C-alpha cells in the first residue's frame, strides 16, 4: 500500500505546531498502524530528519499509551480497538490519513502526537486505591463473598486502560467516563468499602482541579472508548458522589 500521511508536528509544548505531509510506500495490510508509523520514522531517521514522537508501550491493547486521532476519530475507524491493534487492512491503497494528538487543555502536547496525561495519574493518586492489606496475611479471595453481578460489573469497569480517548472525544473534554470507571471498580467490591466516600469526593475534586469539563450526556465517550466502558458508570459515580456528600462529615 502507498499512503499519504498528514501528521501534526509540534516541537514542544509552547511551540506552534502544524500539519506536515509524508509519503510511505510498500506498507503491508498486515502491519499494525504503529508498525506503519515505525516505517515512516525509520525513513525520517535515514533522511536525517526528526522522527515523529508518539507514545506506545504494550502494543497489545492493554496499556493505553498509543493515543492519537486518526482521520478525526480517537484510535481510528474501528470500534473497540486501540491504535496499536488497528491494522493497515482497515485502509485502502492511496489513502490520505490524518494523524493528530489528543486535544484537551488537561492533556497538553509534549511533542508531536505525545501528550501529557499525568492529570489522570493525579486523579488516581487522589483516591483510586484500597487500603486493605494485599500482601502477607491476606485472606483467601473466596472468603469474602461478592455477588456475581457486582463482580462482573467491577471487572468490566476495571478494563479501562486510561487511554484518554473519552476526554479527547468529548466536546467538553470531560474525564467522567475514566473517573467513573475507576470509582465503580472499587465501589462495587467490599475491598473498596473503607475509602468509599472519601474516594469519590477526592477523585472528583482532583478531576475538576485538572481542568476537565463536565459531562453533558452526549455519549461520544462510550462510543469511542476502545474498551466499551459503559455510561452506566457515570450514573453510578453520580450516585456515589451524592451519597458521599450527604453521609461524609
- Site for ligand SF4 (CB under 6 A): which residue of 37, 66, 97, 160? 160
Q: Does 186 bind ligand SF4 (CB under 6 A)?
A: no
CB atoms within 10 A of CB 177: 26
Judge whether 51 and 108 are in contact, CB under 8 Å. Answer: no
Q: What whole-number distance in Å separates Cα of residue 34 and Cα of residue 39?
A: 9
Phi, psi (deg, nearest 5) at residue 243? -60, -45
Q: Show the CA angle centred on residue 149, arms to residues 141 and 243, nearest 5°.
A: 95
Q: Where are the beta strands (DSSP E) in the chain?
A: 3-9, 18-24, 69-70, 73-74, 96-100, 109-111, 114-115
Residue among 68 and 229 whose Cβ is closer to ligand SF4: 229
CA 226 to chain centre: 8
Residue among 115 and 201 whose Cβ is closer to ligand FES: 115
Grid cell at residue 104: 484537551
Please choose which of ligand FES, ligand SF4, none residue 126 contacts, taking the beta carbon within 5 to 8 angstroms, the exact cut-off set by kind.
Answer: none
* Per-position x/- string for 47-66, each x denoting binding to ligand SF4 as judged by CB under 6 A, each - no binding: -----------------x--
* Candidate segments 90-98, 102-110, 192-200, 220-228, binder of ligand SF4 by CB under 6 A: 220-228
| CA-to-CA dists, residue 93 to 19, 28, 117, 158, 244, angstroms | 21, 10, 34, 38, 54
Grid cell at residue 231: 455510561
Q: Does 102 bind ligand SF4 (CB under 6 A)?
A: no
Q: Which residues bind ligand FES (CB under 6 A)?
A: 56-59, 61-66, 82-84, 161
Q: Does 157 bind ligand SF4 (CB under 6 A)?
A: no
- Site for ligand SF4 (CB under 6 A): which residue of 5, 104, 163, 215? 163
Please choose which of ligand FES, ligand SF4, none residue 119 contacts, taking the beta carbon within 5 to 8 angstroms, the exact cut-off set by kind.
Answer: none
Please choose which of ligand SF4, ligand FES, none residue 198 contacts, taking the beta carbon within 5 to 8 angstroms, the exact cut-off set by kind.
Answer: none
- Site for ligand SF4 (CB under 6 A): which residue of 225, 234, 237, 244? 225
Residue among 56 and 182 whose Cβ is closer to ligand FES: 56
Query: Minimum CB separation from ligand FES for residue 203, in Å?
Result: 23
Judge whether 101 and 9 are in contact, CB under 8 Å. Answer: no
Q: Does 229 bind ligand SF4 (CB under 6 A)?
A: yes
Grid cell at residue 219: 455519549
Task: List interacting residues with ligand SF4 (CB under 6 A).
Answer: 64, 160-166, 177-178, 181, 225-227, 229
Amino acid at each position: 500500500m502507498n499512503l499519504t500521511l498528514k501528521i501534526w508536528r509540534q516541537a514542544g509544548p509552547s511551540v506552534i505546531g502544524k500539519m506536515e505531509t509524508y509519503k510511505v510506500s510498500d506498507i503491508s495490510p498486515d502491519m499494525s498502524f504503529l508498525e506503519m508509523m515505525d516505517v515512516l520514522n525509520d525513513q525520517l531517521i535515514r533522511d536525517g530528519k526528526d522522527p515523529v514522537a508518539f507514545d506506545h508501550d504494550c502494543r497489545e491493547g492493554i496499556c493505553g499509551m498509543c493515543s492519537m486521532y486518526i482521520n478525526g476519530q480517537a484510535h481510528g475507524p474501528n470500534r473497540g480497538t486501540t491504535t496499536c491493534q488497528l491494522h493497515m487492512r482497515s485502509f485502502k491503497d492511496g489513502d490520505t490519513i490524518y494523524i493528530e494528538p489528543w486535544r484537551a487543555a488537561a492533556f497538553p502536547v509534549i511533542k508531536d502526537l505525545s501528550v501529557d496525561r499525568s492529570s489522570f495519574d493525579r486523579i488516581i493518586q487522589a483516591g483510586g486505591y484500597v487500603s486493605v492489606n494485599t500482601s502477607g496475611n491476606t485472606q483467601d479471595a473466596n472468603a469474602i463473598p461478592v455477588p456475581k453481578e457486582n463482580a462482573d460489573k467491577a471487572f468490566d469497569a476495571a478494563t479501562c486502560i486510561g487511554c484518554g480517548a473519552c476526554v479527547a472525544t468529548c466536546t467538553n473534554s470531560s474525564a467522567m467516563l475514566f473517573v467513573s470507571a475507576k470509582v465503580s471498580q472499587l465501589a462495587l467490591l467490599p475491598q473498596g468499602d473503607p475509602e468509599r466516600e472519601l474516594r469519590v469526593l477526592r477523585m472528583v475534586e482532583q478531576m475538576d482541579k485538572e481542568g476537565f469539563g463536565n459531562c453533558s450526556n452526549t455519549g461520544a465517550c462510550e462510543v469511542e472508548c476502545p474498551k466499551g466502558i459503559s455510561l452506566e458508570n457515570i450514573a453510578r459515580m453520580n450516585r456515589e458522589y451524592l451519597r458521599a456528600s450527604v453521609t461524609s462529615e
